[in-house]
Amino acid sequence: MTNAGAGRLYVVATPIGNLGDLSARARDTLQACNWIAAEDTRHTGALLKHFGIQTPLLSLHDHNEFKRAPELILRIQSGSSIALVSDAGTPGISDPGFDLVRAAAAAGLDIIAIPGPCALVAALSIAALPTDRFCFEGFLPARAAARRARLDDLAREPRTLVFYESPHRVQEMLEDCARILGPERPATVARELTKLHETLYRGSLSELAGRAGAEVDFGRGEIVLVVAGATPAAHAGQGADGHGGALDRALKPLLAELPLKQAARLAAQIAAVRDNEAYKRALQLKQEAADC
């Protein structure tokens, strides 16, 4: 049951580049609300000025959302309606907004979606990769080790994978994807969607990694990476180590000549896997040999 006499929270999608993508309903909502909670008031202020909207702004971003949400809930409970926007796209999708929406739901307030632009959906719709089932991962960790560990977890995911990536890391990301997910895995990089320099790059992960290193414009602007999911055939072709047998092929001769830890460390480098994974597999191979 909603609170009688309370206002509403509107979750409003805004353009990811082309201002023409702001819907008439979104414009009317931004105009009619008492307040607009914005990720960056300067950025949203420019959008409002373009459309002649004078609704006052409140700041709501990653660093203050948890503390500010109760204040905004009180405003809504007192009868004010608030529009939640991010800098671009749909709030809460790799953007601030979740804490406020959750608090509004817990308070029994009306929450209304004003749908519109979303970079992940836009990229997926034109990537020419399967769209019936997909897995949105957002931004992977910036640190290489954590990013590669997450990609290891996704190596056998059969659904299409969608990532956001910063332009200065896109080459490293593609190289990691090629090494861990497979160099021939089909993928699409969507750059600067809806903007003047919108560009799509299609090819295998290894081809795209090469283009990222060779083409200056590849790493400029906002990036969405869409990668085909793993196929059953790819699973069937993998060895017991889960990496096409590459780890076993490296470990077996090394274990015959070196101590286990040293062999595992070298094999991890050769097969491009984590040290602990190589060590676990080395223990298994040692045990299998002892049982024979």
At residue 189, φ and ψ (nearest 5 deg) are -105, 120
Q: What percent of the chain has pLDDT over 90?
A: 77
Taking 50 as the threshold, does the pLDDT of residue 35 lie above it?
Answer: yes
Distance CA 152, CA 138 (A): 16
Q: What is the pLDDT of residue 93?
A: 95
Burial degree of 13 (CB within 10 A; 0-12, 13-18, 19+): buried
What's the rounded Cα separation, in Å, for the pair 106 and 70? Answer: 11
Q: Which residue type occupies 226?
A: V
Task: Determine the pLDDT at residue 234.
Answer: 53
C-beta separation of 225 from 165 below 8 A: yes
Classified by CATH at the fold level, domain 8-117 comes out as: Cobalt-precorrin-4 Transmethylase; domain 1 (3.40.1010)
pLDDT at 168: 94
Q: Are 258 and 266 in contact (CB under 8 A)?
A: yes
Neighbours of 73 (CB within 10 A): 19
The dihedral sign for the CA sequence 209, 211, 216, 219: negative
Q: How far apart are CA 141 and CA 139, in angstroms?
A: 7
Q: Identify which of 80, 73, 86, 155 has the alpha carbon closest to the alpha carbon of residue 117.
A: 86
What tens digit of pLDDT does each residue of 211-252 get?
Answer: 999 999 999 999 999 999 998 655 444 545 555 467 888 888
pLDDT at 28 over 80: yes
Strand-pair partners of 38: 59, 85
- Report the pLDDT value the prediction gives residue 241, as an integer from 0 to 100: 53
Reported as a pLDDT band with limits 50, 70 and 90, residue 1 is very low
Angle between helix 41-51 and 24-32 (nearest 10): 110
- 3-state class (DSSP) for residue 73: helix
Domain boundaries, the chain: 8-117, 120-233, 238-291
User: Does CATH number 3.40.50.1240 belong to domain 120-233?
Assistant: no
Q: How many CB atoms lie within 10 A of CB 26?
A: 22
Per-residue pLDDT, 238:
52
pTM for the model = 0.79
What whole-number distance in Å separates Cα of residue 108 and Cα of residue 3? Answer: 6
Tokens of 34: 């008492």
Q: What is the mean pLDDT of residues 19-42?
A: 98
User: By the 8 A CB rule, do 83 and 48 touch?
Assistant: no
How many Å apart are CA 15 and CA 142, to the nearest integer? 26
Q: Which residues pair with 85 in a beta bridge?
A: 38
Q: Whose CA is closest to 55, among 79, 29, 73?
A: 29
The model's pLDDT over 115-134, given as tens digits with 9 standing for 90+, comes to 999 999 999 999 999 999 99
